[in-house]
């Protein structure tokens, strides 16, 4: 739970409406990651990272993995290191997300961690998603401006979407444990004040209408057959053969609407889409698959189950149970397996009830999730 914070009031009055500073949102803050540990992650080939150097107006971007001796060649100021999805690498960083579970899990993207020297930053910009910026170490000066959109002028830059003009309306210096919330579209700029500045950015996903329509239509097309065509038995001769009649248009549009407005099909597709792993490289799959008998034995021992931090879990309620979505796969669950599926989506780690060994469906579900590396004991 966050300190000095009311989730209900925040969702009602602030979420996606205006920025908000939460002083000492983590009153008993302890930085979960050292700068050296973050630098080590930035050097890993399977971890997405960037280095941004230079003062405002002359920023240069280098994509990772960062070569270790690069740090020795850096100046004492004006550079920033960014590492994506650190929550999938460091359990203590993943625990930060628990404080923000008043937002649905499917909306959570990842925790990006930045380290900056004095003057380091990424320039004035805006994002298309919500973000909570947790100050982890040192100080950072944040300036926040007005609302932007895709028509807002940007500077010419190959790697960064920097605002051509930025006028701040609010300004704060954040200390460790402070949190700044920035909604989608609001201009903002953060600059490190002094050295050893670390910020934890809890970002949220917001699929665009273009993305949803494009990907949903692609999925629908894969299931269609060529002989499902327009037909007009009982056709009556028209006064003017050049007219496309309202009845024909209504039937043609109905063919499209009946397919694209299938709520059950869309629910299954969106569940698969939104739980597809962003970083599949974090693989927990066992060297040897476990069989059903082995899983029953494991369950009876009452183990603690943990979700792979790179995996995504969600469920959709149905009249006869739930659809469990894990890593882009859909599982129909009913009875005990439905209850278990909901518990699995609610908590990243919990003790398994040995009585579940008697549920054939739950044993089968656990076996599949374990063998594909989505969970571990």
- Please report, in tens digits, the pLDDT of each residue of the chain (377 residues total): 899 999 999 999 999 999 999 999 999 999 999 999 999 999 999 999 999 998 777 889 999 899 988 888 888 899 999 999 999 999 999 999 999 999 999 999 999 999 999 999 999 999 999 999 999 999 999 999 999 999 999 998 888 899 999 999 999 999 999 999 999 999 999 999 998 999 999 999 999 999 999 999 999 999 899 989 999 998 999 999 999 999 999 999 999 999 999 999 999 999 999 999 988 888 889 999 999 999 999 999 988 999 999 999 999 999 889 999 999 999 999 999 999 999 999 988 989 999 999 999 999 999 999 999 999 99
Residue 48 resides in a domain: yes
Specify the CATH number for the domain of residue 141.
2.60.120.650
| Domain boundary residue, one of 179, 204, 229 | 204
140 with 215, same domain: the answer is: no
> How many domains, in total, are found in the chain?
3
274 within a domain of the structure (yes/no): no
Write out the H or E segment, with its range, that includes residue 320: none
25 and 38, same domain (yes or no) = yes
Q: Which domain holds residue 137?
A: 7-204
Choose one of 163, 185, 204: the last residue of a domain. Answer: 204
Residue 65 is predicted with a pLDDT of 92
The DSSP letter of residue 316 is E
In whole angstroms, what is the distance from residue 98 CA to residue 1 CA? 8
Helix (H, G, I), strand (E, B) or coil at 4: coil
Q: Could you tell me if residue 32 is inside a domain?
A: yes
Q: Does 83 map to a domain? A: yes
Using CA atoms, how far apart are residues 370 and 364, in angstroms rounded to an integer? 10
Among candidates 296, 298, 367, 362, which has minimal Cα distance to 335?
A: 362
192 and 213 both lie in a single domain: no
CA-CA-CA-CA torsion sign (281, 286, 290, 295):
negative
Q: In the block, which residue shows the tokens 């299938």?
A: 262
Question: Are residues 193 and 232 located together in one domain of the fold?
Answer: no
CA torsion 54-60-65-70 (nearest 10°) is -40
Query: Does one domain contain both 36 and 106?
Result: yes
Asked if 178 contacts 21 with a C-beta cutoff of 8 angstroms, the reply is yes
Q: What is the pLDDT of residue 280?
A: 83
Asked if residues 116 and 42 have their Cβ atoms less than 8 Å apart, the reply is no
267 is a domain residue: no
Q: Please report the pLDDT score of residue 217 as a whole number.
A: 94
State residue 302's pLDDT score.
85
Tell whether 247 is covered by a domain: yes
Structure token digits, residue 373: 């590396």
- Written as six digits, the tokens of 273 are 């889409």
53, 78 in Cβ contact below 8 A?
yes
Tell me: do 339 and 215 sit in the same domain.
no
Segment 161-168 long-range contacts (CB within 8 Å, at least 24 positions apart) = 161/125, 161/126, 162/59, 162/123, 162/124, 162/125, 163/123, 163/124, 163/125, 163/126, 163/187, 166/124, 168/143, 168/144
Query: Do 100 and 42 belong to one domain?
Result: yes
> What pLDDT is recorded for position 54?
87
Backbone angles phi, psi at 234, to 5 degrees: 80, 20
Same domain, 91 and 121: yes
Residues 363 and 246 in one domain: no
Position 282 scores a pLDDT of 82
Tell me the two tokens of residue 16: 């996606």
Query: DSSP letters of 193-259?
Result: EEEEEEEEEEEE----HHHHHHHHHHHHHHT--TT-----TT----SSTT---HHHHHHHHHHHHHH
Q: Do residues 113 and 38 lie in contact, with contact meaning Cβ atoms separated by under 8 Å?
A: yes
**Would 268 be classed as within a structural domain?**
no
Whether residue 339 is found in the same domain as residue 361:
yes
Q: Are residues 35 and 184 in the same domain?
A: yes
Please check whether residues 25 and 153 belong to one and the same domain. Answer: yes
Only one residue has tokens 């961690």, namely 113
Lay out the sheet containing 329-333: strands in order across: 313-318, 321-326, 329-333
Nearest alpha carbon to residue 113 among 22, 42, 207, 24: 42
CATH for 313: 3.40.366.30
Q: Between the CA of residue 126 and those of 50, 130, 147, what are the distances in Å?
A: 18, 10, 8
Q: What is the pLDDT of residue 99?
A: 94
């Amino acid at each position: 739970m966050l300190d000095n914070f009311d989730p209900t009031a925040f969702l009602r009055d602030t979420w996606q409406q205006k920025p908000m500073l939460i002083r000492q949102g983590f009153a008993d803050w302890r930085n979960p990651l050292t700068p050296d540990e973050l630098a080590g992650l930035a050097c890993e080939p399977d971890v997405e990272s960037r280095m941004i150097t230079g003062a405002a107006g002359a920023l240069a971007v280098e994509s990772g993995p960062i070569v270790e001796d690069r740090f020795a060649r850096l100046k004492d100021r004006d550079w920033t290191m960014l590492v994506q999805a650190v929550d999938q690498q460091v359990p203590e960083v993943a625990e930060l997300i628990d404080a923000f579970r008043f937002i649905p899990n499917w909306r959570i993207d990842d925790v990006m961690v930045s380290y900056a020297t004095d003057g380091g930053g990424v320039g004035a910009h805006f994002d298309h998603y919500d973000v909570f910026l947790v100050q982890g170490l040192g100080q950072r000066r944040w300036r926040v401006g007005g609302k932007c959109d895709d028509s807002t002028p940007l500077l010419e830059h190959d790697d960064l979407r920097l605002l051509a003009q930025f006028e701040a309306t609010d300004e704060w210096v954040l200390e460790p444990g402070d949190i700044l919330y920035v909604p989608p579209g609001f201009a903002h700029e953060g600059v490190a004040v002094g050295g050893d500045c670390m910020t934890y950015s809890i970002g949220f996903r917001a699929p665009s209408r273009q993305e949803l329509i494009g990907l949903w239509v692609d999925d629908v097309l894969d299931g269609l057959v060529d002989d499902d065509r327009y037909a007009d038995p009982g056709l009556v001769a028209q006064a003017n053969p050049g007219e496309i009649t309202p009845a024909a248009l209504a039937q043609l549009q109905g063919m499209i609407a009946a397919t694209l407005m299938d709520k059950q099909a869309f629910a299954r597709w969106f569940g698969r889409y939104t739980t597809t792993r962003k970083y599949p490289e974090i693989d927990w799959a066992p060297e040897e698959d476990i069989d059903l008998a082995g899983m029953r034995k494991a369950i009876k021992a009452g183990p603690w189950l943990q979700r792979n931090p790179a995996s995504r879990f969600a469920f959709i309620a149905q009249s006869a149970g739930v659809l469990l979505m894990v890593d882009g796969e859909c599982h129909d669950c009913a009875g005990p397996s439905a209850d278990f599926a909901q518990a699995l989506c609610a908590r990243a780690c919990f003790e398994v009830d040995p009585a579940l060994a008697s549920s054939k469906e739950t044993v089968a579900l656990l076996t599949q999730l374990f063998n594909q590396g989505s969970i571990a004991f």
